[in-house]
Amino acid sequence: MTGLGASGLSTAASSQARVFGTRILPSNQIRVAARLTKPRTNTRQVMKPQCTAAVENPIATDSHTDSTGNYYQRVYGNMKTGDTLDKDYANDTAATAKNRRAGVILHPTSLPGPYGIGEIGKEAFKFIDWVASTGMQMWQVLPLVPPETQYWSPYAGVDALCGSTLMIGLDELKEEGLLAKSDLPKKIAIGTVDYPQVEAAKAPLLRKAADKLLNESKFSSLRREMDAFRAENPWVEDSALFFCLIEYQEDTKDQGWWFWPEPIRKRDPAAVAEATKRHEENINRFIAQQFLFDRQWKAVKAYANSKKVKIVGDMPIYVGGQSADVWAHQELFELTPSGAPANVSGVPPDAFSETGQLWGSPLYDWPAHEREGYRWWAQRLGRSFQLYDETRIDHFRGFAGYWSVDAKADTAMGGVWKKGPGLGLFKSLNDQLGYVAIIAEDLGVITTDVNELRKGIGAPGMVVLQFAWGSGATNTHIPHNHYENSVCYPGTHDNETAVGWWKDSATDAEKEYIKRYLHTNGKDIAGDFMRESFKSVSKTSIVMLQDIMRLDNTARMNFPGTTTNNWGWRVGETNIWGKLKKQAAEIKGWLEDYDRTAEVNPPA
């Protein structure tokens, strides 16, 4: 989980004013609201992702065996004893490559760049070149959604299908003529991202670029591309209208949508049409900016794929209540007649929290999703696979069983477990989208049904080396207990860096155990953990760039349970990749040693 339920907000912070859209709502209006990201549908068509699976598709084949078993059944399963085997039979040996792979976690906001935040322009391409030079084949990012504007968490995004326009590359807009050189802001020395400063500097420029795109004749060809984006992604209409209603309309802004006047709250067609006409200009601007984000990011993804690097996205399971996702699809959520959440998400009390964790996101009405054929989920995952090759889903256990809390409750203690949609959801997604390549975030207390669901859909789970050393040899995360269809992380964006953990948090007993187990003196604990991760039987290993750089906790991306000093780390100046050539060579050597240099998806 990311932070406290993917939002990264503490229990204390939940009693404060929470941010929805781009404005802070009064506390009396947001008590029952949600704080995670959000997806959307309604007028939305299902998008078939153009991606290939990293593992066999057990749903499609009706086989829950591993890839070797599936291959054997496919090639030899219908033969009879004594039949002549084909000429390639002797080449099918145990020495066949296992397609082991490796990758790195870095959010685009952490990239170098002159305007206060990492952007999805030329610096992203430089990073991809560096990743390719290491032999790694995967780049994992955090959610690319627009973050909420109080704590700026990408796990509390304000729209699950839109992109964060703060990451749009300004120099690239200048090169296309959408901005003049004189428009560009003053360069800012590399440091922690100051999100309000970045938004204040970039928002007027993005608006100016959008206006040029919409109105100037020389951009007619680009406008046709934008029109195609708009037609292929009809969900953006609801996103744009919702944004305008919470930003510009007097009787709807600064309040939860469930407090809006009934006609627009209930999406009366006449009220929606009137609001759309009233806000037409700003709707077009919003969509133009989303198109620019989409165009730049897809160029980044295409370049990564050309270098044999796959993009791994990240998706919180729940979406925010103050969102077009919920407003446009009220029938798919557990809401009161007014539209406020009736039951909300969280997790029960455990060793880390006496009262549990109350996340506040409205729960899905799963029977309603089943009745509509899971089209909303197909839309959400379809959009994800436009942007990524694979997607990590946070709190995967919620698809098997989820904790339901009355929205009026002040803590999660009084909740109950309810059954999730299980395999039926993924069978439907498989039918609509083809194989859904996901990584299941299955950390925490995981019951048998969660493991069975993950195995049933062939999704890899997660093991984290920082969690391995405190409970003896039976610990799930210790290397000798790893399993092949998993992703091994030394630590994730929610963890301390390896150096920071060793220095600040590891107990003496843990350090002694690690020294014995890894045959190390602990002087290069980040290197030790990365090497052990690459060595692991796990088919996939993903490491943090901070660990590659041997940085301490001053470079930490997120401190779960806190609301400040998160999401702001930056990797350094534009010449950083040249400075990391030695580390790139080190990683390449490890990948060669541990058979992780094959392509992510070799031809069948």
- Active site residue ranges: 394, 441, 494
β-pairing, 438-440 vs 390-394, is: parallel
Query: Which contacts (CB < 8 Å, 24+ apart) does range 217-226 have?
Result: 218/177, 219/177, 219/178, 222/176, 225/291, 225/295, 226/287, 226/288, 226/291
Q: Do the Cβ atoms of 339 and 57 come closer than 8 Å?
A: no
Both tokens of residue 240? 């744009």
What residues are paired with 312 via a beta bridge? Answer: 140, 390
Instruction: Tell me, rounded to whole angstroms, the distance of Cα 461 from its chain centroid.
Output: 15
Buried b / exposed e along 90-106 (16+ C-beta atoms within 10 A): eeeeeeeeebbbbbbbb
E-only strand ranges, 457-539: 461-464, 486-489
Of 295, 387, 405, which Cα lies nearest the Cα of 342?
405
- DSSP letter string, 246-272: HHT-TTTTTS-GGGS-HHHHTT-HHHH
3-state class (DSSP) for residue 445: coil
DSSP code for 350: B
In angstroms, the CA 412 to CA 30 distance is 17
- Angle at Cα 8 formed by Cα 147 and Cα 492, nearest 5°? 100
Residue type, 532: E
189: left (phi over 0), alpha (psi -120 to 50) or beta: beta
Both tokens of residue 376? 């909303």
Both tokens of residue 152? 């700026």
Cβ-based neighbour number of residue 314 at 10 Å? 27
3-state class (DSSP) for residue 540: strand
Both tokens of residue 385? 């696979």
Instruction: Tell me, rounded to whole angstroms, the distance of Cα 292 from its chain centroid.
Output: 20
